[in-house]
Structure 1
Amino acid sequence: MRFKSIFSLAVLGIMFWSSVAMAQLEARERGRGVYAELFGNGLLYSFNYDQRFEKRLDGLGYKVGLSFLSVEGTGAATFPFGLNYLLGKNGKYFELGLGGTYVVGFDNTNTFASSDDRNFGDGIAGNMIIGYRSEPVDGGFLFRATLTPFFGSGTFWPLYAGVSFGYAF
Protein backbone atom coordinates (compact mmCIF):
# COMPACT_ATOMS: atom_id res chain seq x y z
CA MET A 1 0.00 0.00 0.00
CA ARG A 2 2.93 2.35 0.67
CA PHE A 3 4.12 1.91 -2.95
CA LYS A 4 0.68 2.92 -4.27
CA SER A 5 0.72 6.06 -2.12
CA ILE A 6 4.20 7.06 -3.27
CA PHE A 7 3.34 6.29 -6.90
CA SER A 8 0.12 8.35 -6.68
CA LEU A 9 1.97 11.33 -5.21
CA ALA A 10 4.66 11.07 -7.90
CA VAL A 11 2.05 11.06 -10.68
CA LEU A 12 0.29 14.06 -9.13
CA GLY A 13 3.61 15.90 -8.82
CA ILE A 14 4.43 15.26 -12.48
CA MET A 15 0.97 16.45 -13.54
CA PHE A 16 1.32 19.58 -11.39
CA TRP A 17 4.75 20.60 -12.70
CA SER A 18 3.80 19.75 -16.30
CA SER A 19 0.81 22.07 -16.08
CA VAL A 20 3.02 24.79 -14.57
CA ALA A 21 5.51 24.47 -17.45
CA MET A 22 2.71 24.51 -20.05
CA ALA A 23 1.21 27.59 -18.41
CA GLN A 24 4.45 29.49 -18.79
CA LEU A 25 4.50 28.73 -22.53
CA GLU A 26 1.03 30.05 -23.32
CA ALA A 27 -0.65 33.35 -22.52
CA ARG A 28 -3.09 33.36 -19.63
CA GLU A 29 -6.48 33.39 -21.31
CA ARG A 30 -8.65 31.75 -18.65
CA GLY A 31 -8.31 31.66 -14.86
CA ARG A 32 -6.89 28.23 -14.02
CA GLY A 33 -5.03 26.98 -11.02
CA VAL A 34 -3.60 23.90 -9.38
CA TYR A 35 -3.13 23.81 -5.64
CA ALA A 36 -2.62 21.66 -2.59
CA GLU A 37 -5.22 22.19 0.11
CA LEU A 38 -4.60 21.33 3.75
CA PHE A 39 -7.83 20.31 5.47
CA GLY A 40 -10.72 21.95 3.56
CA ASN A 41 -12.95 20.00 1.19
CA GLY A 42 -10.55 17.03 0.93
CA LEU A 43 -10.80 16.49 4.73
CA LEU A 44 -7.09 16.06 5.57
CA TYR A 45 -5.46 17.25 2.33
CA SER A 46 -6.17 17.25 -1.41
CA PHE A 47 -4.64 18.19 -4.75
CA ASN A 48 -7.02 20.29 -6.85
CA TYR A 49 -7.58 21.79 -10.29
CA ASP A 50 -9.69 24.97 -10.56
CA GLN A 51 -10.90 26.81 -13.68
CA ARG A 52 -13.23 29.68 -14.61
CA PHE A 53 -15.98 29.04 -17.19
CA GLU A 54 -15.50 32.45 -18.85
CA LYS A 55 -12.32 34.08 -20.16
CA ARG A 56 -11.95 36.29 -17.11
CA LEU A 57 -10.52 35.82 -13.63
CA ASP A 58 -13.65 36.44 -11.59
CA GLY A 59 -17.05 34.83 -11.98
CA LEU A 60 -18.24 31.23 -12.00
CA GLY A 61 -15.87 28.27 -12.12
CA TYR A 62 -15.39 24.71 -10.91
CA LYS A 63 -12.90 22.65 -8.95
CA VAL A 64 -12.07 18.95 -8.80
CA GLY A 65 -9.57 17.25 -6.54
CA LEU A 66 -8.38 14.04 -4.97
CA SER A 67 -6.54 12.70 -1.96
CA PHE A 68 -5.53 9.31 -0.63
CA LEU A 69 -4.50 8.22 2.84
CA SER A 70 -3.61 4.74 4.05
CA VAL A 71 -2.35 3.64 7.45
CA GLU A 72 -1.60 -0.04 8.02
CA GLY A 73 -4.14 -1.25 5.46
CA THR A 74 -7.00 1.02 6.47
CA GLY A 75 -7.66 4.30 4.73
CA ALA A 76 -9.75 6.47 2.50
CA ALA A 77 -9.74 8.30 -0.81
CA THR A 78 -11.60 11.59 -1.16
CA PHE A 79 -12.74 13.36 -4.31
CA PRO A 80 -13.84 16.97 -3.66
CA PHE A 81 -15.77 18.72 -6.44
CA GLY A 82 -17.92 21.80 -6.78
CA LEU A 83 -18.80 25.14 -8.28
CA ASN A 84 -17.29 28.38 -7.01
CA TYR A 85 -17.76 32.06 -7.64
CA LEU A 86 -15.01 34.69 -7.34
CA LEU A 87 -15.99 38.27 -6.62
CA GLY A 88 -13.31 40.95 -6.74
CA LYS A 89 -10.54 42.34 -8.92
CA ASN A 90 -6.78 42.88 -9.20
CA GLY A 91 -6.00 39.40 -7.91
CA LYS A 92 -7.92 39.69 -4.60
CA TYR A 93 -11.18 37.75 -4.47
CA PHE A 94 -13.96 36.75 -2.13
CA GLU A 95 -14.75 33.10 -2.92
CA LEU A 96 -18.11 31.37 -2.46
CA GLY A 97 -18.76 27.78 -3.44
CA LEU A 98 -21.02 24.77 -3.12
CA GLY A 99 -20.10 21.18 -3.82
CA GLY A 100 -19.49 17.77 -2.37
CA THR A 101 -16.79 15.36 -1.32
CA TYR A 102 -17.08 11.72 -2.36
CA VAL A 103 -15.36 9.50 0.22
CA VAL A 104 -14.34 5.87 -0.32
CA GLY A 105 -13.10 4.08 2.78
CA PHE A 106 -11.36 0.70 2.76
CA ASP A 107 -10.01 -1.84 5.21
CA ASN A 108 -7.55 -4.39 3.81
CA THR A 109 -6.94 -5.81 7.31
CA ASN A 110 -10.59 -6.95 7.43
CA THR A 111 -10.80 -5.55 10.97
CA PHE A 112 -13.98 -3.54 10.35
CA ALA A 113 -15.36 -5.29 7.28
CA SER A 114 -17.99 -7.98 7.40
CA SER A 115 -17.52 -11.12 5.24
CA ASP A 116 -15.57 -10.27 2.05
CA ASP A 117 -16.64 -6.63 1.85
CA ARG A 118 -13.45 -4.61 2.31
CA ASN A 119 -14.99 -1.22 1.45
CA PHE A 120 -16.71 0.88 4.08
CA GLY A 121 -17.68 4.49 4.59
CA ASP A 122 -18.55 5.25 0.95
CA GLY A 123 -20.70 8.31 0.47
CA ILE A 124 -20.98 11.97 -0.43
CA ALA A 125 -20.96 14.87 2.02
CA GLY A 126 -22.07 18.30 0.86
CA ASN A 127 -19.79 21.24 1.52
CA MET A 128 -19.49 24.97 1.07
CA ILE A 129 -16.60 27.36 0.48
CA ILE A 130 -16.50 30.81 2.05
CA GLY A 131 -13.15 32.54 1.90
CA TYR A 132 -10.39 34.65 0.47
CA ARG A 133 -8.31 33.96 -2.65
CA SER A 134 -5.18 35.74 -3.80
CA GLU A 135 -4.49 34.96 -7.47
CA PRO A 136 -2.28 37.32 -9.51
CA VAL A 137 -3.84 38.61 -12.73
CA ASP A 138 -0.81 37.47 -14.76
CA GLY A 139 -0.59 34.09 -13.01
CA GLY A 140 1.77 32.93 -10.31
CA PHE A 141 1.46 32.01 -6.63
CA LEU A 142 -2.12 31.19 -5.62
CA PHE A 143 -3.23 31.34 -1.98
CA ARG A 144 -6.63 30.49 -0.47
CA ALA A 145 -7.95 30.59 3.11
CA THR A 146 -11.48 29.23 3.47
CA LEU A 147 -14.19 28.07 5.83
CA THR A 148 -15.51 24.78 4.46
CA PRO A 149 -18.59 23.60 6.40
CA PHE A 150 -19.77 20.04 5.70
CA PHE A 151 -23.40 18.87 5.76
CA GLY A 152 -25.62 15.91 4.79
CA SER A 153 -26.68 12.47 6.06
CA GLY A 154 -26.92 13.71 9.64
CA THR A 155 -23.50 15.35 9.44
CA PHE A 156 -22.89 19.03 10.06
CA TRP A 157 -19.41 20.46 10.72
CA PRO A 158 -19.92 24.24 10.67
CA LEU A 159 -16.37 25.25 11.64
CA TYR A 160 -14.16 23.25 9.28
CA ALA A 161 -11.54 25.26 7.37
CA GLY A 162 -8.73 24.93 4.86
CA VAL A 163 -5.69 26.69 3.47
CA SER A 164 -4.33 26.25 -0.07
CA PHE A 165 -1.06 26.96 -1.86
CA GLY A 166 -0.54 26.57 -5.59
CA TYR A 167 0.03 28.09 -8.99
CA ALA A 168 -2.39 30.11 -11.15
CA PHE A 169 -2.03 30.09 -14.95
Structure 2
Amino acid sequence: MKNFILISVLFIGLSNLQAQTTEPREQGKAFYLELFGNGITYSLNYDQRFQKRMDGLGFKAGASFLSLGGSSVGTVPVGLNYLLGKEGKFFEMGMGSTLIFGGGNTDFAVGDGEPLDTYFLGTMTFGYRSEPTDGGFLFRANLTPIFGGFGFYPFFGGISVGYAF
Protein backbone atom coordinates (compact mmCIF):
# COMPACT_ATOMS: atom_id res chain seq x y z
CA MET A 1 0.00 0.00 0.00
CA LYS A 2 2.88 2.37 0.84
CA ASN A 3 4.34 1.80 -2.64
CA PHE A 4 0.99 2.61 -4.27
CA ILE A 5 0.68 5.86 -2.28
CA LEU A 6 4.26 6.86 -3.11
CA ILE A 7 3.74 6.15 -6.81
CA SER A 8 0.43 8.07 -6.83
CA VAL A 9 1.96 11.13 -5.15
CA LEU A 10 4.92 11.03 -7.56
CA PHE A 11 2.65 10.73 -10.60
CA ILE A 12 0.43 13.64 -9.48
CA GLY A 13 3.48 15.78 -8.75
CA LEU A 14 5.13 15.02 -12.10
CA SER A 15 1.92 15.64 -14.04
CA ASN A 16 1.63 19.13 -12.49
CA LEU A 17 5.16 20.25 -13.36
CA GLN A 18 5.46 22.93 -16.01
CA ALA A 19 8.46 23.75 -18.19
CA GLN A 20 10.51 26.61 -16.76
CA THR A 21 11.43 28.02 -20.15
CA THR A 22 10.26 28.05 -23.73
CA GLU A 23 13.84 27.70 -24.99
CA PRO A 24 14.83 24.32 -26.43
CA ARG A 25 16.83 22.22 -23.99
CA GLU A 26 20.54 21.80 -24.57
CA GLN A 27 20.74 18.16 -23.42
CA GLY A 28 18.06 15.51 -23.02
CA LYS A 29 17.54 14.51 -19.38
CA ALA A 30 14.48 12.91 -17.83
CA PHE A 31 13.05 11.35 -14.71
CA TYR A 32 10.12 8.95 -15.09
CA LEU A 33 7.99 6.22 -13.55
CA GLU A 34 7.84 3.07 -15.68
CA LEU A 35 5.12 0.48 -15.12
CA PHE A 36 6.27 -3.01 -16.09
CA GLY A 37 9.10 -2.65 -18.65
CA ASN A 38 12.73 -3.03 -17.57
CA GLY A 39 11.91 -2.88 -13.83
CA ILE A 40 9.51 -5.86 -14.27
CA THR A 41 6.76 -4.46 -11.97
CA TYR A 42 7.61 -0.75 -11.81
CA SER A 43 10.71 1.41 -11.53
CA LEU A 44 11.72 5.02 -11.01
CA ASN A 45 14.31 5.97 -13.64
CA TYR A 46 16.77 8.67 -14.64
CA ASP A 47 17.68 8.99 -18.34
CA GLN A 48 20.27 11.22 -20.06
CA ARG A 49 21.94 11.66 -23.47
CA PHE A 50 25.75 11.42 -23.53
CA GLN A 51 26.11 14.46 -25.79
CA LYS A 52 24.45 17.87 -25.58
CA ARG A 53 21.55 16.99 -27.84
CA MET A 54 18.01 15.63 -27.61
CA ASP A 55 18.53 12.45 -29.63
CA GLY A 56 21.36 9.96 -29.95
CA LEU A 57 23.05 7.62 -27.49
CA GLY A 58 22.28 7.80 -23.78
CA PHE A 59 21.86 5.76 -20.63
CA LYS A 60 19.19 5.04 -18.06
CA ALA A 61 19.25 3.68 -14.53
CA GLY A 62 16.44 2.97 -12.13
CA ALA A 63 15.28 1.13 -9.04
CA SER A 64 12.20 -0.41 -7.49
CA PHE A 65 11.30 -2.25 -4.30
CA LEU A 66 8.24 -4.28 -3.27
CA SER A 67 7.50 -5.85 0.10
CA LEU A 68 4.58 -8.26 0.50
CA GLY A 69 3.85 -10.34 3.60
CA GLY A 70 7.43 -10.68 4.84
CA SER A 71 8.87 -11.21 1.37
CA SER A 72 10.61 -8.51 -0.58
CA VAL A 73 12.04 -8.05 -4.03
CA GLY A 74 13.97 -5.19 -5.57
CA THR A 75 15.10 -4.42 -9.10
CA VAL A 76 17.85 -2.23 -10.54
CA PRO A 77 17.44 -1.77 -14.32
CA VAL A 78 20.37 -0.18 -16.21
CA GLY A 79 20.99 0.16 -19.91
CA LEU A 80 22.03 2.08 -22.99
CA ASN A 81 19.45 3.53 -25.33
CA TYR A 82 19.35 5.41 -28.61
CA LEU A 83 16.73 7.99 -29.59
CA LEU A 84 16.02 8.51 -33.27
CA GLY A 85 13.72 11.37 -34.28
CA LYS A 86 13.13 15.11 -33.95
CA GLU A 87 10.73 17.71 -32.54
CA GLY A 88 10.27 15.70 -29.34
CA LYS A 89 8.95 12.54 -31.06
CA PHE A 90 11.39 9.63 -30.96
CA PHE A 91 11.80 5.96 -31.72
CA GLU A 92 13.66 4.53 -28.73
CA MET A 93 15.76 1.36 -28.84
CA GLY A 94 18.13 -0.05 -26.27
CA MET A 95 19.68 -2.94 -24.40
CA GLY A 96 20.44 -3.47 -20.76
CA SER A 97 20.25 -5.66 -17.72
CA THR A 98 18.07 -5.78 -14.64
CA LEU A 99 19.38 -7.00 -11.31
CA ILE A 100 16.61 -8.65 -9.27
CA PHE A 101 17.24 -9.40 -5.61
CA GLY A 102 15.08 -10.81 -2.82
CA GLY A 103 15.07 -10.73 0.94
CA GLY A 104 13.19 -12.00 3.97
CA ASN A 105 10.96 -15.04 3.47
CA THR A 106 11.19 -14.68 -0.28
CA ASP A 107 8.41 -16.53 -2.06
CA PHE A 108 9.34 -15.04 -5.42
CA ALA A 109 10.78 -17.51 -7.91
CA VAL A 110 12.41 -17.34 -11.32
CA GLY A 111 12.75 -19.92 -14.05
CA ASP A 112 12.13 -23.47 -12.85
CA GLY A 113 10.81 -22.41 -9.43
CA GLU A 114 14.19 -21.76 -7.78
CA PRO A 115 13.82 -19.29 -4.88
CA LEU A 116 15.01 -15.81 -5.77
CA ASP A 117 18.23 -14.54 -4.22
CA THR A 118 20.03 -12.51 -6.89
CA TYR A 119 19.30 -12.81 -10.58
CA PHE A 120 20.19 -10.90 -13.75
CA LEU A 121 17.80 -10.49 -16.69
CA GLY A 122 18.75 -9.22 -20.12
CA THR A 123 16.43 -6.54 -21.49
CA MET A 124 15.77 -4.79 -24.79
CA THR A 125 13.63 -1.74 -25.55
CA PHE A 126 11.77 -0.79 -28.74
CA GLY A 127 9.16 1.93 -28.63
CA TYR A 128 7.80 5.44 -28.83
CA ARG A 129 8.92 8.39 -26.72
CA SER A 130 7.36 11.85 -26.61
CA GLU A 131 8.85 14.79 -24.74
CA PRO A 132 8.56 18.53 -25.44
CA THR A 133 11.69 20.17 -26.83
CA ASP A 134 11.50 22.78 -24.06
CA GLY A 135 10.97 20.19 -21.30
CA GLY A 136 7.86 19.01 -19.52
CA PHE A 137 5.62 15.94 -19.57
CA LEU A 138 7.32 12.81 -20.94
CA PHE A 139 5.46 9.74 -22.23
CA ARG A 140 6.95 6.39 -23.30
CA ALA A 141 5.34 3.18 -24.57
CA ASN A 142 7.70 0.28 -25.26
CA LEU A 143 7.94 -3.33 -26.19
CA THR A 144 10.50 -4.66 -23.69
CA PRO A 145 11.64 -8.22 -24.45
CA ILE A 146 13.32 -9.94 -21.48
CA PHE A 147 15.62 -12.96 -21.50
CA GLY A 148 17.71 -15.08 -19.16
CA GLY A 149 18.17 -18.65 -17.93
CA PHE A 150 14.37 -18.99 -17.84
CA GLY A 151 13.98 -18.34 -21.59
CA PHE A 152 12.98 -15.45 -23.85
CA TYR A 153 9.77 -13.41 -23.53
CA PRO A 154 9.51 -11.17 -26.63
CA PHE A 155 6.13 -9.57 -25.84
CA PHE A 156 6.75 -7.98 -22.44
CA GLY A 157 6.20 -4.22 -22.44
CA GLY A 158 6.06 -1.06 -20.40
CA ILE A 159 4.55 2.41 -20.21
CA SER A 160 6.14 5.48 -18.62
CA VAL A 161 5.22 8.98 -17.53
CA GLY A 162 7.62 11.58 -16.20
CA TYR A 163 9.32 14.91 -16.61
CA ALA A 164 11.95 15.89 -19.18
CA PHE A 165 14.32 18.73 -18.36
TM-score, with length taken from structure 1 = 0.79
Matched residue, 1:121: 117
- In the alignment of these two chains, the number of paired residues is 152
- Structure ranking higher in helix proportion: 1
Question: What is the alpha-carbon root mean square deviation over aligned residues?
Answer: 2.7
Matched residue, 1:38: 35
User: What's the offset of the Cα at 1:75?
Assistant: 1.9
For structure 1, which runs of at least 5 residues remain unmatched after alignment?
A: 113-118
Identical residues among aligned pairs (%): 54
User: Take 2:86 and 2:150, find their aligned partners in 1: how far apart are those partners?
Assistant: 38
Matched residue, 1:49: 46
Matched residue, 2:60: 63
Matched residue, 2:112: none
List aligned pairs for 1:148-167, cutoff 5 A.
148-167=144-163
User: Take 1:82 and 1:160, find their aligned partners in 2: how far apart are those partners?
Assistant: 17
Q: 2:143 aligns with which of 122, 147, 152?
A: 147
Matched residue, 1:91: 88
Task: Spell out, residue by residue over 1:22-63, the C-alpha distance to the aligned partner (whole angstroms, 9 max, x if none).
Answer: x848x7321000000011000011100000001110000000
User: Take 1:139 and 1:49, find their aligned partners in 2: how far apart are those partners?
Assistant: 15
User: Take 2:106 and 2:75, find their aligned partners in 1: how far apart are those partners?
Assistant: 20
User: Take 2:60 and 2:106, find their aligned partners in 1: how far apart are those partners?
Assistant: 34
The one-letter amino acid of 2:101's match is V
User: Take 2:153 and 2:136, find their aligned partners in 1: how far apart are those partners?
Assistant: 32
Secondary structure at 2:117 match in 1: strand
TM-score, with length taken from structure 2 = 0.81
Matched residue, 2:77: 80
Structure 1 segments, 4+ long, off by >6 Å, are: none
